[in-house]
Amino acid sequence: MKNKINIAIIGASGYTGAELIRILLTHPFANISVLTGDSQAGKDIGDVYPHLRFKGLPKLIALEQVDFSGVDLVFCCLPHGTTQKVIAALPEHLRIIDLSADFRLYNVETYAKWYGHAHQAVELQKTAVYGLTEHAREKIKNARLVANPGCYPTTSSLPLMPLLAAGLISHENIIIDAKSGVTGAGRSSSQANLFSEVNEGVKAYGIAAHRHAPEIEQNLSLVSGKEIMVTFTPHLMPMNRGILSTIYVQLSAGKTVDDLRTQLEKTYGDEAFVHVLPAGVMPSTHQVRGTNDCVMNVFADRIAGRAIIVSVTDNLVKGASGQAVHNMNVIFGFPEKTALELTAVFP
Amino acid sequence: MKNKINIAIIGASGYTGAELIRILLTHPFANISVLTGDSQAGKDIGDVYPHLRFKGLPKLIALEQVDFSGVDLVFCCLPHGTTQKVIAALPEHLRIIDLSADFRLYNVETYAKWYGHAHQAVELQKTAVYGLTEHAREKIKNARLVANPGCYPTTSSLPLMPLLAAGLISHENIIIDAKSGVTGAGRSSSQANLFSEVNEGVKAYGIAAHRHAPEIEQNLSLVSGKEIMVTFTPHLMPMNRGILSTIYVQLSAGKTVDDLRTQLEKTYGDEAFVHVLPAGVMPSTHQVRGTNDCVMNVFADRIAGRAIIVSVTDNLVKGASGQAVHNMNVIFGFPEKTALELTAVFP
Amino acid sequence: MKNKINIAIIGASGYTGAELIRILLTHPFANISVLTGDSQAGKDIGDVYPHLRFKGLPKLIALEQVDFSGVDLVFCCLPHGTTQKVIAALPEHLRIIDLSADFRLYNVETYAKWYGHAHQAVELQKTAVYGLTEHAREKIKNARLVANPGCYPTTSSLPLMPLLAAGLISHENIIIDAKSGVTGAGRSSSQANLFSEVNEGVKAYGIAAHRHAPEIEQNLSLVSGKEIMVTFTPHLMPMNRGILSTIYVQLSAGKTVDDLRTQLEKTYGDEAFVHVLPAGVMPSTHQVRGTNDCVMNVFADRIAGRAIIVSVTDNLVKGASGQAVHNMNVIFGFPEKTALELTAVFP
Amino acid sequence: MKNKINIAIIGASGYTGAELIRILLTHPFANISVLTGDSQAGKDIGDVYPHLRFKGLPKLIALEQVDFSGVDLVFCCLPHGTTQKVIAALPEHLRIIDLSADFRLYNVETYAKWYGHAHQAVELQKTAVYGLTEHAREKIKNARLVANPGCYPTTSSLPLMPLLAAGLISHENIIIDAKSGVTGAGRSSSQANLFSEVNEGVKAYGIAAHRHAPEIEQNLSLVSGKEIMVTFTPHLMPMNRGILSTIYVQLSAGKTVDDLRTQLEKTYGDEAFVHVLPAGVMPSTHQVRGTNDCVMNVFADRIAGRAIIVSVTDNLVKGASGQAVHNMNVIFGFPEKTALELTAVFP
C-alpha cells in the first residue's frame, strides 16, 4: 500500500469529474494533482463548479499541458467515443480508470455496431478489465486499464448476475424497466434537458436502442454461459440523481423468491456497498442519493413463477465516480471503504 | 338534449372534485349547483382551493344539508369504501357518476378480497356500468350509476383492450410498469407524500398488491374471453400529474408491431381523446398534462416477438374527472367534446 | 367587431409562441393562419411541441415564405434585439403585437443604454403603445404596434401604479424582490438552465442589472410624474412557471395598509384578470398557473409606516401571451375575456 | 479533549435528528449511544429513515427509557414549546445542545409574546448560551446548555452582525427577503406541505409574523447596541433544502460595498465555514447543499447608498444540525472542522 497517490482527472468539468473530486477530497491516501478541461482551461474549478470553490484544488488545464511524470492514476471522464485515442496516448506507467463506455465491451464488433464506428484502440481493449468491483476484484488489482461500468448496467447486473450464475432464474424473458435522473445525460447544453422540458413529466427514451443494453447482456452472458438478450427500457425522471431498475424475471423450476433473496444475501453479505433489504421492504433512490450503495430486494409476483426485483443506485456514485474510487482502492490496496462510507443526504 | 343540467359534486374538497370544477366551469350546459365537503362545510371553496376563488361557485356544505330536488347529476368524489352507502341513499331521480373504486368491480367477491370488507350495496352494484367511455358508450347512455374507471386501468386498458380483442397479442405475460404523479394519492395529510419525502427520488409501491390490478384484469378478461392476470407495478414519481405505463407484451404468431399500431389507429381513429403517435415517436406525460387525452405508441423490442407499448394520461383528467365529464356528456347527449377540448399546459 | 381574424405568429417555436397557440385554439374569433420558425421551417408544430400535435395547426415556415396578404394580426415572438428590423419590414395593413422588449422603452436612449446598441427603428418606436392592458385600453384600441409588457414589469406595475398615482406610497425606497420560474429564460439550449443545474436550489441573478428595471421605472414614473428608481432583484426558482413579486414600500404620511387595499380594489374591481385578495390571505403562484390573472394583496409590516405587497402572475400568460391575446381582444373589439377565462391547473 | 463521547439524540425521528446522525457517523470522537422517538419507540431507525439502515445504530426508544448515566451530551431535537420541561428534567452532568427555539430568546417576555405562553424554565433560560458558533465560541465552551440558532437567523445574522458592529450599515431599513426549502417545516404530516401542494409554485408565509424575526433582532441589537427592528419575509420554495436570504441595507455615510465585503472577509477570513465570494459572484443554495457552509456576497444597488447582501446556507446543516455539531466540537475541544468538512452534493 503506497502512502499517497497522485491523481489526474481528465475531463473534470463534467458531472462525473466533479463527483470524483467530491469523494476524493475526503480520501486520506489520494492527492488531486491535475484537473483537465480543455474548453475551460485556465479557469478555477470554483468558477465551473461553485460547490468546489474554497477547496484548495488545482486550476483546470488543457490535456496537452499535463505533465504526467508524477502522476500515478488517471481517471478519464471524457465523453464516449473521444476516449480511445486519448488513453492510447497516455504514458505507460499510469494506471487508468476510464468512466466512459469506450472500453466496456470486450467484443469490438459489438462496439462498432452500437457506437457506429470501428473501435480505435483494439489492442488496448484486450487489456481492459470491466470494473464491476464486487465481481472482478482480482482482475482489477492487476489491471492497467479499468473500464468503469455504466450506471444502468451496474444497477441491473448486481442483482441479476448471482441469480443467473446460480441458475435460479431463467435466462429468457428478462425485462428491465429503468428510471433515471437527469444527470445521466451529463452537463452539455441541450434543449431536451432544460429544466422546463423535463420538470413535471416522465418519458421513455431509447426503447430497444440504448447502448447500455449490450453492456448488460455481456455481464449476464458471461456468468450464465449463454447468450442472453434482455428487454431494456430506460426512462427519464424529473430528478437529478438516482436509478431505479424494476426487473421482471421468471423463476427456474421449483425456485422461490426466498431462494433468490437468500442467494443475494449470500453473494453480498460481506460487501460494504451492496445491501439486500428484508422481505417486503421497498428500495427507493432516496436512500442511496450521494452514496456508493446499491440497495435491492426481490418480490413475488401474483403470477406464479414470476418475481420482481427492484434495485437502486445513485447513477453518479455507484453508477460512476464512487465505483471508480472503489476500483482505485482495489488497485492500490487501500481499504475498500476508504472515502466511500457515505450516508445519503436525505431529504 | 336538455338545455342546462344542475350538478352536485359530493366530496368537492379532494383533487378530483377540484378538477371537475375546473372543467365544468367552461361547460355551456352544466351548472354547478351543489358542492359538499363535510369537514370543510361552511367554507368558501376559494379558502380550500385558492385557484377556485373569484369563480362564483357555491359554498361548501355538508352532505346532509343538500336538497337534491333540483339536481340532475351527482359526481361522487368520496374516498374508496365510504361511497357505497352514500350512493345507495341518494334519491332515485339522480344520475350518478362515481369516481371512487366502489362500483368498478362487477364481481363483489373480487371486491371483498381486494378491499377487505363485503360490498355494502350488492344490488346497486348490479346496475352499475363501468365507464371506460370509448368502450362503453351505449351502456353509459342509459346507466343510472356509472363507475368511473381508475387512472391506472384507463391508461393500460385503452391500448391493451383492442389488441387482445383482435387477438394480436398473447393474453399471457403482460407486464405493466406504471409511473404516476403524486396527486394520485389525494389531498389527505400524509408523511409519505410530503414534498421533502417525495422530491428527488422514485420508488415502487404496492408491488403485486395494488387494487387497480383486478380492475385492469376485469377489463382485459372481458374483451378477450379469458381469465387474464397481469403483472402490475406502480411507481411514485416526483411530479404532480401524469401516468406513463410501459407495457411489455408478446405478439401473437405472425403479428408485427405495425399490425398493433394499425389496430389501435383503427379503433381510435375517430375518437377525440385517444391518439396513436406515428411510428418511432415517444409519448410523454408532458403532452397530456391538464388534458383528457390518452396518447400511445407501440415499439418493437430487440427480442423477436415482443413489443413495448407506452401510454400516457393525466391521472386527474382522463384518469378521473375528465373521463367523468366525458361520461356526463354521453349520458345527457351533449357533444362529447364539450368542455374537454383542452390543450396541455406546457411547460 | 370583425367576425374572424387571421393571425400570424412569428417565432412560434419559443415558449410564448406555443402559449399563444394554446390560448388561441379556444378563441372563437381567431384563426391561426401562419406559424413561422426559421430554424424549424418545414416541420410540423407537433414535432417541435408534442402537446400541439393533433390540433390541425399549419406547418412551421420561414418568415420570408409568409404571404401576409390575408393576415390581419401578427404576434411577434422573436428574441429581444432581432425584432426591430423584422417589424419595420412588415406590410402596413398589419396590426402587430410584439412580445419582445424591442419597443417597450419610449426613450430610445434608455434602450441603447440597457440593450447595448442603438435602437434600429426609432420612428416606429414613436408609434408603439406599451400594452399594459388595464392601464392603456384606449391607446391600444387604435395602436398599430403594441409593445407587450415584460413579465416582471407586469407583476410589479399592476399593484404599484395605482398606489403611486393616488399618492398612497412614497416614490422612494421601493424594493422589488421577484421570484420567477425557469420558462422566463426561454427554450434555447443553455447549461445554466439544465434541469440538474436548476433543480433543488435557488439563486439571484442580474442584481441591479436586469433589463426589466427600466421598464418598471418607466411605468411608475409615468403615473407619478416623478423620475422613480427602484431596487429590483430577480431570482430563479426551481419551477416552470410563475412570478411572485414581494414589494417593500413606504406609506405616505397618514396612510394605512387598508387605504392601499381599498385603492387596489377600486382600481381593479371591474377588471376580469386582476384580483385583490381579502385581508390576510397570501397569494401563491399556484393559483394563477396557466391563467391570465394577476392576484395581489397588501400586508402591514411590523415597522410602522411600511407595507409589503405580494403580487403573482403566470409569466407566460399574464406576463406574455395571455396579455397579448387580451390586447388583441381590445384592438379588434372582441369581448375582453374571450379565450382568457382560464382556471389554474392545480395541482 | 476527551477521547470519545457518548451522545443521546432526543427526538431522533425528525429531520434535524436524522441529519445529526448523518454527520456524527463520520465523527471520530463521537459515539451515538441513544436515539429517542416516543411515537416510534421500539423501531429500528432504518424503518423510519431508510437511508440510516445498515449503519449499526441503536434502536429508537422512549425518552423515559433512557439511562443517561453514561451519556455525555444530549442533542435535543424536539418541537418548539415541548422542550423546556424535558431539558429542565435532565440530569445535571449532561451538556445539552437544544435545536428547538425554546431557549434562544434571552428575554422571556419576548418569548411569551411570540410563542403564546409563558416560558416554562426561566431559571434555565438564564444559563443558556445562544450558539451562533462564530460569534460565541468562548461562551459556548463553558455552557451547559447551548440554544442552537434558527436557520433564518443564522443565514441573516452572519452577514449583518459584523457590518452593524463596524457601523458600516444603517440599523434602520434592513429588509430580509428569505427563501427556504420545505424541510424547514419538519416531517409532520401536513396538507400544506404535500408534494402536490408545494411543487411548481412559490408563496410567502408568516409576513411580519415569523418567530425568527425576534431572534434575528436579538442578534443584531446585541452587536449594535441599539434596538433593531427588521422587515422579514420568509417564502416557501419547491425544493428540499437551502435558504437564500436577500438582504437590502443602507450604507452608512461614506461607506461603499467594497468596505462591506472587506469587513466580511476580515471577520470570516479564518473561519472554516463562512465564505465571502469574490466581487460579482452570485451565491446559490446549490453550492451549500448538505454542507455546514454559509456563503455570502455583497452587491451595489443602482440606487446610491444602498447595497444588497445575498447569503446562503443549508437549513438542516449550518441552519441546524451542522452548527450543532460545530458547537459540540467547541464544547469538547475537538478540532472545529471534525466531521464537518463536507462538500455539497451537486447536482
| pLDDT single digits (tens) D232-262 | 999 999 999 999 999 999 999 999 999 999 9
Instruction: Say whether pLDDT at B322 is over 90.
Output: yes
**Interface residue of D40, D189, D195, D203 to substitute, partner B, most B CBs within 10 Å:** D195
Interface test with A, best of B170, B177, B261, B308 (most A CBs within 10 A): B177
Instruction: Determine if the peptide bond prior to C91 is cis (ω within 30°).
Output: no
Contact flag A240-C191 (C-beta cutoff 8 Å) = no
Nearest-Cα residue of chain C relative to residue A188: C191
- How large a percentage of chain A has pLDDT more than 90? 97
Tell if the CB–CB gap between A346 and D241 is shorter than 8 Å.
no
CB pairs under 8 A between A and C: 64
Cβ-based contacts of D346 with chain B (< 8 Å): none
Q: Answer yes or no: do D347 and A15 touch at CB < 8 A.
A: yes
Residue of C nearest to A238 (CA): C195
Distance between B313 CA and the closest CA of chain D, angstroms:
17
- C1 falls in which pLDDT band (50, 70, 90)? very low
Closest residue of chain C to B21, computed from CA coordinates:
C343
Q: Give the dihedral of Cα atoms C158, C164, C168, C170; nearest 10 deg.
A: 120
Interchain pair A284, B201: CB under 8 A: yes
Closest CA in chain D for residue C295:
D203
| Contact assignment for B346 to C51 by CB distance below 8 Å | yes
Distance of CA D98 to the CA centre of its chain: 10
Residue to substitute from C198, C217, C302, interface D, most D β-carbons within 10 A: C302
* pLDDT tens profile A103-118: 999 999 999 999 999 9
Helix (H, G, I), strand (E, B) or coil at A206: coil
- Residue B3, pLDDT score: 78
Q: Is C61 helix (H, G, I), strand (E, B) or coil?
A: strand
Interface-testing mutation among C195, C197, C203, C237, with chain A (most A C-beta atoms within 10 A): C195
Of B183, B191, B197, the CB nearest to D196: B183
CA of residue A153 relative to chain centroid, distance: 7
Give the mean pLDDT of C183-195. 94
Give the per-residue pLDDT at D96: 98
Helix axes C108-115, C212-224, angle to 10 degrees: 160
Tell me which residue in A173, A208, A229 faces B308 most closely, judged by beta carbons: A208
Mean per-residue pLDDT for D128-133? 98
- Which chain D residues contact residue C196 at CB under 8 A? 347
Containing A313, the helix (H) or strand (E) segment is strand A306-313
Cβ contact (<8 Å) for B201 and A173? no
DSSP state of C174: -
pLDDT digits (tens, 9 = 90+) for B239-262: 999 999 999 999 999 999 999 999
**Across the B/C interface, how many CB contacts are shorter than 8 Å?**
75
Q: How far does the CA of residue D328 sit from the closest CA of chain C (Å)?
A: 29
Q: Are strands C30-36 and C5-10 parallel, antiparallel or unpaired?
A: parallel
Contact between D329 and D323 under an 8 Å Cβ cutoff? The reply is no
d(CA B187, CA D191) in angstroms, rounded, equals 7
- Three-state secondary structure call for residue A237: coil
Decide if D346 and A21 are in contact by the 8 Å CB cutoff.
Answer: no
SS3 per residue for chain B: CCCCEEEEEECCCCHHHHHHHHHHCCCCCEEEEEEECHHHCCCCHHHHCHHHCCCCCCCEECHHHCCHHHCCEEEECCCCCCHHHHHHCCCCCCEEEECCCCCCCCCHHHHHHHHCCCCCCHHHHHHCEECCHHHCHHHHHHCCEEECCCHHHHHHHHHHHHHHHCCCECCCCCEEEEEECHHHHCCCCCHHHEHHHHCCCCEECCCCCCCHHHHHHHHHHHHHCCCCCCEEEEEECCCCCCEEEEEEEEECCCCCHHHHHHHHHHHHCCCCCEEECCCCCCCEHHHHCCCCCEEEEEEECCCCCEEEEEEEECCCHHHHHHHHHHHHHHHHCCCCCCCCCCCCCCC
pLDDT, tens digit, for every residue of C4-24? Answer: 999 999 999 999 999 999 999
When pLDDT is averaged across residues C239-252 and rounded to a whole number, the result is 98
Q: Are the C-beta atoms of A234 and A212 separated by less than 8 Å? A: yes
Region A115-128: mean pLDDT is 96
Contact B241 A200 (CB under 8 A): yes
Domains belonging to chain D, first-starting first, are 5-148+318-332 (3.40.50.720), 152-315 (3.30.360.10)
DSSP per position, A60-100: EE-GGG--GGG--EEEE-PPTTSHHHHHHTS-TT-EEEE-S
For range A173-179, the mean pLDDT: 98
Q: Which of C292, C315, C342, C343 to mutate to test the interface with B (most CBs of B within 10 A)?
A: C343
Chain A residues touching residue D32 (CB < 8 angstroms): none
Q: Cβ–Cβ of D187/B183 closer than 8 Å?
A: no
Helix (H) / strand (E) element for A179: namely: strand A175-180
Interface of A with B (CB under 8 A): 173, 175, 177, 179, 196-197, 199-205, 207-208, 213, 229-231, 233, 235, 237-242, 244, 246, 248, 282-286, 289, 299-303, 306, 308, 310, 347
Which residues in chain D are contacts of B183 at CB distance < 8 A? 196
Q: What is the pLDDT of residue D303?
A: 97
In order of A248, A306, B309, C16, the CA distances from A277 in angstroms are: 18, 19, 31, 48
> Which residue in the set B191, B196, B240 is minimally distant from D196, CB to CB?
B240
Angle of the D151-165 helix axis to the D212-224 helix axis, nearest 10: 20
Give D12→chain B minimum CA distance, Å.
16
Smallest Cα distance from D114 to chain C, Å: 13
> Which chains sit next to B, with 3 or more Cβ pairs under 8 A?
A, C, D
Asked whether the beta carbons of residue C275 and residue B54 sit closer than 8 angstroms, the reply is: yes
B284 to A248: CB separation less than 8 angstroms, yes or no: no
Residue A2 distance to chain D (closest CA, Å): 24
C184, B196, B28, A197: which is closest to D187 by C-alpha?
A: B196
Mean pLDDT of B126-147: 98
Mean confidence (pLDDT) of chain B: 97
Coil, strand, or helix at residue A180? Answer: strand
Residues of C in contact with A43 (CB under 8 A): none
Residue C86 CA to residue B227 CA, distance in Å, equals: 65
Residue numbers of A annotated as active site: 151
| Pairwise CB contact (< 8 Å): A50 & D286 | yes
Can you tell me whether residue A214 is helix, strand or coil? helix
DSSP-derived pairing of the beta strands A145-147 and B294-300: unpaired
D5-43 confidence digits (pLDDT tens): 999 999 999 999 999 999 999 999 999 999 999 999 999
What is the reported pLDDT for D1? 45
The answer to whether the Cα torsion of B336, B337, B340, B345 is positive or negative is positive
Q: How many residues does chain B have?
A: 347
Q: Enumerate residues 6+ apart whose C-beta is below 8 A from B103.
A: B83, B84, B87, B121, B124, B125, B128, B145, B147
Q: How far apart are CA C77 and CA C11, in angstroms?
A: 5
Reply yes or no on whether the pLDDT at B1 is more than 50: no
Of residues C208, C235, C300, nearest to D179 (C-beta): C235
**Residues of chain C contacting D177 with CB distance shorter than 8 Å:** 177, 246, 248
* pLDDT band at residue C2 using 50, 70 and 90 as cut-offs: low
| Residue C235 confidence (pLDDT) above 90 | yes
Report the alpha-carbon distance of residue A229 to residue A251 in Å, rounded: 17
Residue D52 has pLDDT above 70, yes or no: yes
Cβ–Cβ below 8 Å for D275 and A53: yes
- Asked if pLDDT for residue C292 goes beyond 60, the answer is yes
Q: Is the pLDDT of residue B147 over 60?
A: yes
- Across A119-143, average pLDDT: 97
Q: Is D189's CB within 8 Å of B187's CB?
A: no
Q: What is the mean pLDDT of chain C?
A: 97
Q: pLDDT confidence of A1, banded at 50, 70, 90?
A: very low
Whether B193 sits inside 8 A of D191 (CB atoms) is: no
Percent of chain B whose pLDDT exceeds 70: 99
Residue range A6-12: mean pLDDT, rounded? 98
Check pLDDT > 70 for residue D79: yes
Q: Report d(CA B345, CA A112) in Å as an integer.
A: 42
CA dist A40 and A45 (Å) reads 9
Q: Do A289 and D51 touch (CB under 8 A)?
A: yes
Q: CA angle D193-D194-D197, nearest 5°?
A: 85
Cα(D137)–Cα(A111) distance, rounded to whole angstroms? 60
Q: Which residue of C has its CA nearest to B17?
A: C346
What is the 3 state secondary structure string of chain D? Answer: CCCCEEEEEECCCCHHHHHHHHHHCCCCCEEEEEEECHHHCCCCHHHHCHHHCCCCCCCEECHHHCCHHHCCEEEECCCCCCHHHHHHCCCCCCEEEECCCCCCCCCHHHHHHHHCCCCCCHHHHHHCEECCHHHCHHHHHHCCEEECCCHHHHHHHHHHHHHHHCCCECCCCCEEEEEECHHHHCCCCCHHHEHHHHCCCCEECCCCCCCHHHHHHHHHHHHHCCCCCCEEEEEECCCCCCEEEEEEEEECCCCCHHHHHHHHHHHHCCCCCEEECCCCCCCEHHHHCCCCCEEEEEEECCCCCEEEEEEEECCCHHHHHHHHHHHHHHHHCCCCCCCCCCCCCCC
Shortest distance between the Cα of D201 and any Cα of chain B, in A, equals 12
Q: Which of D187, D238, D239 sits opposite B194 (nearest CB)?
A: D187
The pLDDT of residue D3 is: 78
* All cell numbers assigned to B41: 362545510
Query: Residue A81: pLDDT band by 50, 70, 90 thresholds?
Result: confident
- Does B76 participate in catalysis according to the annotation? no
Under the banding of pLDDT at 50, 70 and 90, the label for residue B2 is low
Contacts of C281 in chain B (CB under 8 A): 50
Q: Which of C76, C77, C151, C294 is catalytic?
A: C151
Task: Give the type of residue at D183.
Answer: T
- Chain C partners within 8 Å of B22 (Cβ): 343-345
